[in-house]
Chain A
Amino acid sequence: MSTTSKTGPGKTGTGPGTPEQEQGLDAAGSRLSTAPTEEPPNLPSLGVIGWARWFWRQLTSMRVALLLLLLLSLAAIPGSLIPQTGIDQTKVADFRERHETLAPIYDKLGLFNVYSSVWFSAIYLLLFISLIGCIVPRTWQFVGQLRGRPPGAPRRLTRLPAHTTWRTGAEPEQIHRAALALLKKRRFRVHRVGDAVAAEKGYLREAGNLVFHLALIVMLIAFGWGQLFKSEGNKLVVEGSGFSNTLPQYDDFKSGNLFSADDLEPFSFHLEDFRGTYERSGPNKGTPRTYEADLTYSQGAYGEEEKTTVKVNEPLELGDAKVYLTSHGYAPVVTVRDGEGEIVFQDAVALLPLDGNVTSSGVVKVLDGYRNPEGKREQLGFQAFFVPTFGGSASGTMISQFPALDYPVLALNAYHGDLKADSGIPQSVYQMDKTKMKEFKDADGELFKKLLMPGETMELPNGAGSVTFEKDIKEWAQFQVVQEPGAGWALGGSVAAIGGLAASLFIQRRRVWVRATEGADGVTVVEMAGLGRSESAKVPEELGDLAAILYEQAPGAPDPEPGPDPGPDDGPDNDPDDGPEASSGPTDTDSRVTPAEGAEKQ
């Protein structure tokens, strides 16, 4: 049927029937996207290779991609409802205690570690294999589309979702030239095929879509890389002391599987001063307003000393590492003397905050140099509680009323004996192993304890020595040092993803055809049609604009006969040799063009 030539004298080109010249309606919408076509999941009958190919086809189909996406969102849910080891270990421990039967089951299913569990990883890895398997062929296809040219005009432009037509006195050749110029100016890719001009625009949409999906891969790899090589350590530093970035210096340290200690960025810093200010009044009384740590730091082995201030949301960046200020507390300076008045201990003792008003607790340990009144070597231990603002004897408790140093009080319990510090088991500096410690007793035979104001000294019973709470109370700041390679790539990937997405969603890929032919009566009939990848109001609008411009150059001519129903289908399609299908009703519906995607219906 394609051998029929419906074109009049205006027809040029390679001859009738070439596929380029006279496109069927399906061809008109072809290659307007690179989305994979859906195949029904027919089971293959061929051997292993057949199965493999079938499996691959399924994996890279849109349907499976969609299912994997849904699966991924479902799989992410349990991790938000069940405590996760990677986020809060104490909560997990808590949960284990409370749910003794459930916890082992959860353990087996990896529910305390959802985001690194086998099944979660399996879903996203499958998704990303699917993604790669989808992107590679689509990219080739797209390159092919860029190299090729928009397909020629369908035979009957009137069957397209948007079309317009008019009769004019201008020559077909003249109209074709005007259309070429106009579409080129509008930045369409345009060429002439047969008796029509074919144009296409909006390739950026496809490019954007590919960039978006590629960017997702970049982000995943960057994230995975970061997880493998990241390191994260905490260090508590008291005012006046420092830190250098080596493994042994950390209080605690976590790292990814592929991290090695050599990866640590070389730097060191010294905490000069920590400042915290707090809301003084109102319902927010006690809320911190500023936390600032003044540091002197140097980078590399022989780096210059520099000064800086680190605040809560403003980390110090040193090469790959970022130094965050994460918390703070007080470190009262305590002096311990033995019975002879010799100083056996003098240091700032960092205490850990227990609440928002920095009620703090910790331990003072005197490990060496102390001899009891009998002259025997012993160790001393003090359980210490500290409040920056004491409630007064009225409140009667050691619970702080305000986080700033308004009325600092230190409370101590005293013990002596063996702290078991050299038992080989690492000890927390904030806890005391009391199994080999004896209580100092007061006059009533109770545990010896005292509240001290700054500058005050308490005498231990029986001339065992004294403890002084020095006036100079230091503060400490805790720093978290994080190295996460790949963060830059993740950021770059996400910017590309947004850009690609915007291009993909906001740009229409569409085609426009202009055909001018000389009708039987010698008057030129201009036909224009537009086709979008999805039906959108923009396509007819744009077509209208283009037509209006062309119309100016080729103004309308009167209708041949003022019949009741003169129209475009009476134009080229009504050529006598057009064959019977031109007027047949049923094929009319069948031959309507479905946009390649069909996502948006009119």
Chain B
Amino acid sequence: MTPAAVTELAASTSLAAASNESLAEMSNVLIYSAMAVYTLAFFAYIAEWIFGSRSKVARTAAALTPRTQAKGAPAVTVRQEGGTAVLERPKVVVRAASGTRDVPDGPGAHGGDEQGDLFGRVAVSLTVLAFLLAFGGVLTRALSVERAPWGNMYEFNITISTTVVGVYLLLLALKKNVRWLGLFLTTTVLLDLGLAVTVLYTESDQLVPALHSYWLYIHVSTAILCGAVFYVGAFGVIMYLFKDSYENKLANGGKPSAFASSVLERLPAAASLDKFAYRINAAVFPLWTFTIIAGAIWAGDAWGRYWGWDPKETWSFITWVAYAGYLHARATAGWKGRKAAYLALAAFGCWLFNYYGVNIFVSGKHSYADVGLGVLQAAGF
């Protein structure tokens, strides 16, 4: 029995998926409302960036010259007030390692402008609202089909974009400096949802039947989560690359364009972006490892072998090795920085290819049936 035929059998063992029309309807309304609110958030983020560009951040080449002396100078940790030392808590002085550019983080999209900051806050609130709507949309969709919401590309896309925003909001809630991600994320989430509702839309009951295994649920849900986090990480990497070349240019006396300066100056320093991307990718790597193993366990139950180099498995493996390569690169002299960043992007490319490319380009499992029916015709029936 070929794995393909087994898949067919396994895949066809569906859950009872009586679709609930009104829930499906509700899901669509919620997704469209989420898109509307994301659009508002998008404009609010734009306003944040525009207002932010008004206030000229005095972050020019001067700021980029190594401030070794300044930093190396002793920190004043004991203040004198009225003759008695007041010190609630000793202040920790932090200094950069040698060889690093000592650039401070940008202030964020609002660039220190009060109105910009206000718009930024509005944008985040709108993002929260849109997220809740989208989450409701995904949930009602799942309820309407009585299974997990990743039965087809449409459901997969709405689920993963919602997860991406969830990751972003979680980082914000953890007080991480990530608001600068907002504009980019809402843009891509809008594009993704737009694509989903127009090109990929599938009636809620036309589903590839879900499979009877909780391992599959675990496997796919962690895979989606990993994808969302990898996505945020990849964006951090891209911004790092931009910011790094910007800083290099300044350090070498170059003159970046006004637009580039205006945008990039407000982002965190290249070193911070690099660290952000690393943290994100490193944090999710064990989960990705787990995802692959959960998939292998499920394959063991469904197909009788836990690993068989099927294209999906192969690309998960490639993605895993590529991310392991990235983590290694950061520990290898001569590979830190930009080279490692390119590796991280390549690894994310592998992930993307696995989820979209393999579905679209590498398929053709069902030729078996046609061949069979040909025999039937040849026999005269």
Q: What is A's interface to B at a CB cutoff of 8 Å?
A: 35, 38, 62-63, 65-66, 69-70, 72-73, 76-77, 79-81, 84, 86-88, 90-91, 94, 114-115, 158, 160-167, 223, 232, 234, 279, 282-284, 287-291, 311-315, 322, 324, 326-328, 352-356, 359, 361, 383, 385, 397-399, 411, 413, 447, 449, 478, 480, 482, 484, 487, 490-491, 494-495, 497-498, 501-502, 505-506, 528, 535, 540-541, 543-544, 547-548, 551, 555-559, 562, 565-570, 585, 588-590, 592-595, 597-602
A124 shortest CB reach to chain B, Å: 10
Given A284-B209, A411-B381, 5 other A-B residues pairs in contact with their CB atoms under 8 A: A66-B328, A69-B328, A166-B87, A397-B381, A569-B73
Q: Is B194 an interface residue (CB 8 A)?
A: no
Complex Cα–Cα for A540 and B328 (A): 25
Indicate if the CB atoms of B213 and A313 lie closer than 8 Å: yes
Indicate if the CB atoms of B304 and A324 lie closer than 8 Å: yes
Q: Out of B314, B324, B372, B380, name the residue touching A80 (CB < 8 Å).
A: B314
A-B pairs with beta carbons under 8 Å apart, 23 shown: A65-B332, A73-B317, A80-B309, A158-B93, A161-B95, A162-B95, A164-B92, A164-B93, A167-B85, A288-B13, A313-B302, A324-B6, A354-B376, A359-B376, A540-B92, A543-B92, A568-B74, A589-B68, A590-B98, A592-B95, A597-B330, A599-B330, A600-B278
A273 shortest CB reach to chain B, Å: 17
Indicate if the CB atoms of A551 and B369 lie closer than 8 Å: no
Q: Given A498-B286, A501-B286, A602-B97 in contact, is the A313-B321 Cβ separation under 8 Å?
A: no
What residues of chain A lie closer than 8 Å to B310, measured between beta carbons? 87
Q: Is B187 an interface residue (CB 8 A)?
A: no
Q: Is B198 an interface residue (CB 8 A)?
A: no
Q: Is B195 an interface residue (CB 8 A)?
A: no
Indicate if the CB atoms of B207 and A284 lie closer than 8 Å: yes
Complex Cα–Cα for A449 and B380 (A): 9
Q: Mark B70-90, 1 if CB is under 8 A from A, else 0.
A: 001111111010011111011
What residues of chain A lie closer than 8 Å to B362, measured between beta carbons? 80-81
- Please choose the segment from B35-43, B126-134, B293-301 that sits at the chain A interface, where 4 or more of its residues have CB less than 8 A away: B293-301
Q: Given A312-B302, A326-B1 in contact, is the A556-B85 Cβ separation under 8 Å?
A: yes
Closest chain B residue to A88 by CB distance? B2
Indicate if the CB atoms of B325 and A601 lie closer than 8 Å: no
Indicate if the CB atoms of B100 and A602 lie closer than 8 Å: yes
Complex Cα–Cα for A484 and B304 (A): 9
Q: Given A70-B325, A287-B12, A326-B9 in contact, is the A558-B80 Cβ separation under 8 Å?
A: yes
Q: Mark B287-327, 1 if CB is under 8 A from A, else 0.
A: 00110010011101111111111110011011001101101
What residues of chain B lie closer than 8 Å to A79, measured between beta carbons? 309, 314
Q: Given A312-B212, A600-B275 in contact, is the A161-B94 Cβ separation under 8 Å?
A: yes
Indicate if the CB atoms of B369 and A356 lie closer than 8 Å: yes
Q: Is B58 an interface residue (CB 8 A)?
A: no
Q: Given A158-B74, A558-B80 in contact, is the A598-B301 Cβ separation under 8 Å?
A: no
What residues of chain B lie closer than 8 Å to A447, measured between beta carbons? 380
B1-53 residues at the A interface, CB under 8 angstroms? 1-6, 8-10, 12-17, 19
What residues of chain B lie closer than 8 Å to A506, measured between beta carbons? 283
- Please choose the segment from B115-123, B156-164, B247-255, B333-341 that sits at the chain A interface, where 4 or more of its residues have CB less than 8 A away: B333-341
Number of interface residues of B (CB under 8 A): 111
Indicate if the CB atoms of B93 and A327 lie closer than 8 Å: no
Indicate if the CB atoms of A482 and B304 lie closer than 8 Å: yes
Indicate if the CB atoms of B72 and A589 lie closer than 8 Å: yes
Closest chain B residue to A528 by CB distance? B90
Indicate if the CB atoms of A544 and B92 lie closer than 8 Å: yes
Indicate if the CB atoms of A355 and B369 lie closer than 8 Å: yes
What residues of chain A lie closer than 8 Å to B74, measured between beta carbons? 158, 565-570
Indicate if the CB atoms of A162 and B14 lie closer than 8 Å: no
Closest chain A residue to B340 by CB distance? A599
A551 shortest CB reach to chain B, Å: 5
Q: Out of A38, A354, A601, name the residue touching B97 (CB < 8 Å).
A: A601
Closest chain A residue to B272 by CB distance? A602
Indicate if the CB atoms of B77 and A289 lie closer than 8 Å: no
Indicate if the CB atoms of A602 and B336 lie closer than 8 Å: no
Complex Cα–Cα for A77 and B89 (A): 56
Q: What is B's interface to A at a CB cutoff of 8 Å?
A: 1-6, 8-10, 12-17, 19, 66, 68-69, 72-78, 80, 83-87, 89-100, 203, 205-207, 209, 211-213, 271, 274-275, 278, 282-283, 285-286, 289-290, 293, 296-298, 300-311, 314-315, 317-318, 321-322, 324-325, 327-336, 343, 350, 358, 362, 364, 367-369, 372-373, 375-376, 379-381
What residues of chain B lie closer than 8 Å to A594, measured between beta carbons? 97-99
Indicate if the CB atoms of B334 and A38 lie closer than 8 Å: yes
Closest chain A residue to B330 by CB distance? A599
Complex Cα–Cα for A180 and B117 (A): 46
Complex Cα–Cα for A388 and B72 (A): 85
Complex Cα–Cα for A374 and B210 (A): 59
A332 shortest CB reach to chain B, Å: 15
Q: Given A592-B95, A599-B336 in contact, is the A284-B14 Cβ separation under 8 Å?
A: yes
A18 shortest CB reach to chain B, Å: 26
What residues of chain B lie closer than 8 Å to A487, measured between beta carbons? 300, 306
What residues of chain B lie closer than 8 Å to A497, measured between beta carbons? 289
Q: Out of A87, A313, A502, name the residue touching B212 (CB < 8 Å).
A: A313
Residue among A291, A326, A399, A497 with the highest chain B CB neighbour number at 10 A: A326
Complex Cα–Cα for A566 and B100 (A): 27
Closest chain A residue to B347 by CB distance? A73
Indicate if the CB atoms of B336 and A80 lie closer than 8 Å: no
What residues of chain A lie closer than 8 Å to B93, measured between beta carbons? 158, 162-164
Indicate if the CB atoms of A322 and B286 lie closer than 8 Å: no
A388 shortest CB reach to chain B, Å: 15
Indicate if the CB atoms of B10 and A312 lie closer than 8 Å: yes
Closest chain B residue to A598 by CB distance? B97
Closest chain A residue to B350 by CB distance? A73
Q: Given A498-B286, A548-B89, A556-B85 in contact, is the A166-B77 Cβ separation under 8 Å?
A: yes
Closest chain A residue to B290 by CB distance? A498
Indicate if the CB atoms of B372 and A164 lie closer than 8 Å: no
Q: Out of B92, B318, B364, B372, name the residue touching A77 (CB < 8 Å).
A: B318
Indicate if the CB atoms of A505 and B306 lie closer than 8 Å: no
Closest chain A residue to B68 by CB distance? A589
What residues of chain B lie closer than 8 Å to A327, measured between beta carbons? 1, 5-6, 9
What residues of chain B lie closer than 8 Å to A565, measured between beta carbons? 73-74, 76
What residues of chain B lie closer than 8 Å to A353, measured between beta carbons? 372
What residues of chain B lie closer than 8 Å to A559, measured between beta carbons? 78, 80, 85
Indicate if the CB atoms of B9 and A312 lie closer than 8 Å: yes
What residues of chain A lie closer than 8 Å to B302, measured between beta carbons? 312-313
Closest chain A residue to B76 by CB distance? A567
Closest chain A residue to B100 by CB distance? A601
Indicate if the CB atoms of B321 and A562 lie closer than 8 Å: no
Indicate if the CB atoms of B207 and A413 lie closer than 8 Å: no
The 4 closest A-B pairs by CB, nearest first: A567-B74, A354-B372, A398-B381, A38-B333
What residues of chain B lie closer than 8 Å to A398, measured between beta carbons? 376, 381
Complex Cα–Cα for A526 and B95 (A): 19
B5 shortest CB reach to chain A, Å: 6
A306 shortest CB reach to chain B, Å: 21
Indicate if the CB atoms of A76 and B314 lie closer than 8 Å: yes
What residues of chain B lie closer than 8 Å to A557, measured between beta carbons? 85
Indicate if the CB atoms of A551 and B328 lie closer than 8 Å: no
Complex Cα–Cα for A601 and B98 (A): 9
Indicate if the CB atoms of B16 and A289 lie closer than 8 Å: yes
Indicate if the CB atoms of A598 and B304 lie closer than 8 Å: no
What residues of chain B lie closer than 8 Å to A87, measured between beta carbons? 2-3, 308-310
